[in-house]
Amino acid sequence: MSDDPPIPAATLIVIRPASGPAPEILVVERSAAMAFAGGAIVFPGGRVDPADRLLADALGQPGEAAKITAIRETLEESAVAAGLAGAIAPALGPQLQGALLDGVPFAALLSQHQLTLDLDALTPFARWMPAFKQARRFDTMFFLARALPGEWRPLPQPGECEAAEWASAADLLDRIALDQASAIFPTKRNLERIALHAGFDEALADALRHPLDTIVPWVEQRGGVPFVCIPEHRGYPNTAEPLTTALRA
């Protein structure tokens, strides 16, 4: 395990109703060239930037920088807006994404388009900090958010994401099981947890039922086979996976 302090990060699980029996969630496929989770399906997110902290301070909510990160990163990686107040046309998504990728500060962009953050629309779902032998460790807050009204068409961030899409958790898990997609250990566990629920309200109730103590996976031997494990009673239907398939725990 690295002796460097973990990097604060945030990710957003955006859930929308679907025409089928299960809701859909927003995911991106990271570029295979990325140092972290290259080629994997993930929820959009990234490290908490100093500018996110400054914006949280300016809003009088200094403890909410991670929520701002989750909203900003989701826009950057997928052109899908979440956690914004008022009626917003989906056509604005690519404009906001393009401006962020061109280096326009998020605070300036919000002011320019007269947009207001709705930080209460994000609910903490889990906190993970894998602690194995990795060059970088992330202390990541996972948030839930209801999708904004309208048909938001995901657009992957050039150079960082190969794809962006809406899909049910069950469909994504099927693809991972068939080796048609890959995902890191925390993503798989959170997909399994989301797949238990018929919609956003159920997922929200689940989030509120469980503590947010940081989940730090560990390895233990079971029948001579190393398994990556997480604590029981945290809402996850599967709490262990063979190390050989965990990819990154």
User: 167: which 2 tokens?
Assistant: 């899909």
- Structure-derived torsion over alpha carbons of residues 241, 236, 131, 249, reported in degrees to the nearest 10: 40
Of 28-32, 44-48, 152-156, the range with the lowest mean pLDDT is 28-32
Q: Where are the beta strands (DSSP E) in the chain?
A: 7-16, 24-30, 41-42, 45-47, 123-128, 138-146, 161-167, 218-222, 225-229, 240-242
At position 101, the amino acid (one-letter code) is L
What is the per-residue pLDDT across 153-172, written as a single tens digit (0 to 9) for each? Answer: 999 999 888 999 999 999 99
The phi, psi pair for 117, rounded to 5°, reads -70, 140
Segment 88-112 shows an average pLDDT of 96
* Confidence bin at 188 (pLDDT 50/70/90): very high
Q: Does domain 7-184 have CATH number 3.90.79.10?
A: yes
pLDDT at 21 over 70: yes
Domain assignments of the chain as residue spans, ordered by start: 7-184
What is the per-residue pLDDT across 196-245, written as a single tens digit (0 to 9) for each? Answer: 999 999 999 999 999 999 999 999 999 999 999 999 999 999 999 999 88
Distances (CA, A) of 183 to 84, 204, 233: 28, 23, 23
* Confidence bin at 35 (pLDDT 50/70/90): low
Q: Is 177 helix (H, G, I), strand (E, B) or coil?
A: helix
